[in-house]
Structure 1
Amino acid sequence: MKEPDANSPLTLRDIARQAGVSLATVDRVLHNRPGVRPDTVRRVKETIARNSFQPHVAGAELARGRFRRFAFVMPSGPNLFMQQIQSYLGEMSGWLSARRLAVEMVATDVFDAFVLASSLEALAGEYDGVAVVALDHPSVRAAINDLVDGGAKVVTLVSDVPSSRRHHYVGIDNIAAGRTAGALVGRLVGPRSGKVAIVAGSQGLRDHAERIFGFNQVMASEFPGLNVLPVLEGRDEDERSEQLMSRLLGKHPDVVGLYNVGAGTPGVAKALIDSGREKQVVFVGHDVTVLTRKLLLQGVMDAAISQNPGHEARAAVRVLLALARGEPILSEQEKIRIDIVMRDNLP
């Protein structure tokens, strides 16, 4: 039997084929009609759920004949968390096709305000919606406002620009995330005194700036015996982060805590291991990736402040679609939760 085109919307016939039942059986299950065995009902419902198939939504989109394009403006470079978001978007192809949606990736340097603004300006008139990992800068703010004025729906993803006219932000409460990291570092360091290092991608990224703000709040109010050093900016680059961290560890032998605000984790971890102090320095970072999982298991990293990349990917698309359709956003469904992950509770 011919496989359905991945770019075509899923149909009831596709669901029937995957579930191994007739089209009539699928119709009976959808309308709760009698005469279908419980095991078959379960199999059909599992197939529908696995494909995120909503026949009434798909039918309405097809009836409108409306095809929409969304752009996701993402950081270039080896940021594993951002790569996870892109991977989850790729897994949504069936869901997207059923709604006549296309999602396209635009990689750019999100640490350079003028490069990012130029990338956003190039999208004008091309897309119905744009999700962007944004730098909080006047040039970026102006580019976002221009997209909105041109009719595009704009969602900021992971890092916000609240002073812009963007329609919605999808991401965690970053001040709360920073406060959580501060509490973890302070409590895990315990009664020791000493210095605490902070490595960020850029303080121009609002998520990084807010995390640092929350972290410093907790350090100042609850752990005055710990001296927080000036922030190092590694641009989420492994080599740069490693060099900065190596110099800092060489200069400050009394560092007892480390907070890595963004990516660049391989470089930060390598500097710590090379110094031979990975068991003495409390290390808290962000996100559960292949690398942070390994570092947690090895005891190099003590905790990761985690946000679900799959949830962020799905939420961003759902919010853009709701905005494009003029439908309400289900705020509770799209709220991104903060998790604390340690070696003992790795998912």
Structure 2
Amino acid sequence: MPHRYKVREIAQQAGLSEATVDRVLHRRPGVRESTVAEVNQAIADLDKQRAQLRLNGRRYLIDVVMQTPRRFSDAFRAAVEAELPAFAPAMVRARFHLWESGTTAQMVDTLARLRGSHGVVLKAQDEPEVAEAIDRLVESGIPVVTYTTDVPASARCGYVGIDNHGAGVTAAYLVEQWLGENPSGVLITLSRTVFRGEGEREVGFRSALRGSGRPVVEVSDADGIDATQERLVLDALEANPGVEAVYSVGGGNVATVAAFDTLGRKCRVFVAHDLDADNRRLLREGRISAVLHNDLRADARLALRLILQERGALPVEPARPVPIQVVTPYNLPVHY
């Protein structure tokens, strides 16, 4: 089968003879591993150059559609805007459709009204109606990448985010290490149960704590909005005086801390997600113990890249899982 580049092109790029390149391409014996590596690097460089030519002068409009607390959407918006210039010589612009609380119907309607889009980065409910709306976009030629929470039954071209089940297990491990022999119960807070990613975190957390005998108390459907969150957490703490630990899946951590303060209750360990402005401050003040964080700019870059790959503008590269970082007050990233 002929290679996508001529032997002469690869040889020029690698600075090797055509005969040597030919031997490498046909996997003939007697070629050093270092020479094989040089040929493979030359081919990768040619792929990048071809991609640059495809991108030259092209314009792409990407829609970011998210139902999420504003503190998170603000952080992700800044990450996307910071990454857009990295796709030069193409001009990539983004439109943002962001809200904190709403219905599945609102999400479906927003997706249906997108016009002129070249791709969508989506944080949405894992509901059949949302999956159908994604399928309609894909059928019309608009690729969709789900972010932080997946809709796997849809035709989305990829998912970007951490291993949510693994994050929940990690949170349980940290809680157990901090509590030790203390028999405290644990409060787990979710923004809304229809988000698959949050459900996976909860399942991982509960499964890892199953043998500990600790009671787990759940608060959900506050959408991470502080006023609602504080009221729900106050009710849960009053009803469960043995709770002295928190795993915050869905945010609203300022409100959760305030509820403990209102009751004069001590929180021995508090594990949260995402390094937004609120969590940075709470970490510095010692009000939360650790944040499970992933680099939002790396997330944004990968999501945009997957869309451009799907449109044939960039060569296909395997998507690697997003690593989880455990951030404490002593290793806060300086660039946030």
Interval containing the TM-score (normalised by the shorter chain) = 0.7 to 0.9
Give the counterpart of 2:62 among 62, 70, 79: 70
**303-312 vs 269-278, which deviates more?**
269-278
Give the counterpart of 2:143 among 148, 153, 176: 153
- The alignment covers a number of residue pairs equal to 288
Match of 2:261 in 1: 273
Post-superposition Cα deviations, 1:303-347, rounded to whole Å, max 9, x if no partner, equal: 111111111111111111111116554235x53111111122222
Match of 1:25 in 2: none
Amino acid at match of 2:294: Q
Match of 1:227 in 2: 215
Match of 1:175 in 2: 165
Q: Secondary structure at the match of 2:120?
A: strand
Q: Secondary structure at the match of 2:311?
A: helix
| CA distance in structure 1 between the partners assigned to 2:59 and 2:240 by the alignment | 57
Match of 1:344 in 2: 330
Match of 2:104 in 1: 113
2:191 is aligned with 1:201: yes
| CA distance in structure 1 between the partners assigned to 2:235 and 2:203 by the alignment | 24
Q: Which runs of no fewer than 5 residues in structure 1 stay unpaired?
A: 1-30, 32-53
Asked whether the equivalents of residues 181 and 259 of structure 1 are also in contact (C-alpha less than 8 Å), the reply is yes
- Displacement of 1:110: 6.3
Q: Which runs of no fewer than 5 residues in structure 2 stay unpaired?
A: 1-12, 14-47
Match of 1:187 in 2: 177
Post-superposition Cα deviations, 1:127-179, rounded to whole Å, max 9, x if no partner, equal: 12111002101111110011011111110011100111111001111000011
- Displacement of 1:95: 2.7
Q: Secondary structure at the match of 1:229?
A: strand
Match of 1:61 in 2: 55
Match of 1:295 in 2: 282
| CA distance in structure 2 between the partners assigned to 1:174 and 1:157 by the alignment | 12
Match of 1:335 in 2: 321
Q: Relative to structure 1, is the Cα distance of residues 111 and 201 closer, same or farther in structure 2, using a 3 angstrom cutoff?
A: farther
Amino acid at match of 1:247: D
| CA distance in structure 2 between the partners assigned to 1:105 and 1:317 by the alignment | 14
Moved over 3 A (4+): 54-60, 108-111, 326-329
| CA distance in structure 2 between the partners assigned to 1:147 and 1:183 by the alignment | 40
RMSD of the TM alignment (CA)?
Answer: 2.2
Which runs of structure 2 are paired with 1:121-160 in the superposition (5 Å)?
A: 121-123=112-114, 125-160=115-150
| CA distance in structure 1 between the partners assigned to 2:217 and 2:91 by the alignment | 51
- Displacement of 1:194: 3.1
